[in-house]
Amino acid sequence: MSDSRIPRHIAIIMDGNGRWAKKKSLPRFAGHKAGVETVRRVVKLCVEHKIEILTLFAFSSENWRRPQQEVSLLIQLLTIALEKEVKKLHKNNIKLQIIGALEPFPKKLRQLVVKAEKLTEQNTALTVVVSVNYGGRWDIVEAAKKLASQVELGKLKAQDIDAEMFESNICLGDLPMPDLFIRTGGEKRVSNFLLWQLAYAEMYFTDTSWPDFNKTEFLTALESFATRQRRFGRTSEQVEKCSNNA
Ligand code: IPE
Ligand code: IPE
Ligand code: MG
């Protein structure tokens, strides 16, 4: 039986890599590299705590605005991570999924993504979703385009479109929506991450930068989640009555 005090789906904005490196007088890239270590750590923790889905923001549609050199290094790092980590993920029964617009990336990276998704498709211990060149607005616009083309073809009536149908056309639409949103690095904003999908996620912000995000931090976030009362529009009394009857 699922325990509602444990999130099924955690979504994380892994932020603060650059500032972490700067503080140590290292190049920003050193922060991104250290961030990969944290990804390994958090994936392991999610498996241990029986989290079903972990969605990570690795590269936003706005991150192209960064200096060309940093963008190239990030793409390189992602490529290397895919080359090196996928076998290990598969061995641990972890499914990998990538969301975002992959067209602008080098062919090699796109091929690695297809291969990794295919290899790990049937795995069941944890689903790790990596968002690259992802933007919440892009996601919503893409869903609107898909529905509009159905209307254009006469396969769908505009008045029949509802939230459920919309959701089945956006990224992660086939999964339970995120229960817990974590942002490291001190900023308190969503930065165009999962705009639709976070509608009822519990928000957790920490000043700790992503490379320093460790087991204790992870457990603190889970503890914070466990204390929240999720009402989804209802009153506390209604929610309490429901949980007493469960
Ligand atoms: C997050 O860390 C990683 C990416 C956006 C790729 P940042 O690189 O944004 O680190 P800060 O926010 O500059 O410290
Ligand atoms: C969000 O972090 C994107 C990722 C972590 C991949 P940013 O560092 O790009 O966000 P802003 O620019 O501070 O809002
Ligand atoms: Mg940042």
Q: Is the CB of 185 under 6 A from ligand 1?
A: yes
Tell which CATH classification among 3.40.1180.10, 3.40.50.2300, 3.40.50.300, 3.40.50.1980 matches the domain 3-245. Answer: 3.40.1180.10
Cβ(13) to ligand 2 under 6 A?
Answer: yes
Whether the Cβ atoms of residue 182 and residue 224 lie closer than 8 Å to each other: no
Specify the 3-state DSSP secondary structure of 127. strand
Asked whether 3 and 179 are in contact (CB, 8 A), the reply is no
Residue 48: the pLDDT is: 98
211 lines ligand 1 (CB under 6 A): no
pLDDT at 3: 81
C-alpha radius of gyration, the chain, whole number = 19
Q: 2 falls in which pLDDT band (50, 70, 90)?
A: low
Q: Is 17 in the pocket of ligand 1 (CB under 6 A)?
A: yes
Pocket test of ligand 1: the residue of 17, 24, 66, 77 to mutate, having most ligand atoms within 8 Å of its CB, is 17
For residues 185-199, average pLDDT: 98
Q: Supply φ then ψ for residue 151, to 5 degrees.
A: -65, -45
Which residue owns the Cα nearest ligand 2 atom 1?
Answer: 191
Q: What is the pLDDT of residues 89-98, one digit of tens each?
A: 999 999 999 9
Q: Which residues are catalytic?
A: 15, 63
Can you give the residue ranges of every domain in the chain? 3-245
Report the sign of the C-alpha dihedral through residues 60, 65, 68, 69, in that order. negative
Q: Give rounded-to-5 percent helix, strand, coil for the chain.
A: 50, 15, 35
What residue ranges in the chain does DSSP mark as E strands? Answer: 9-13, 53-60, 94-99, 126-134, 180-183, 202-205
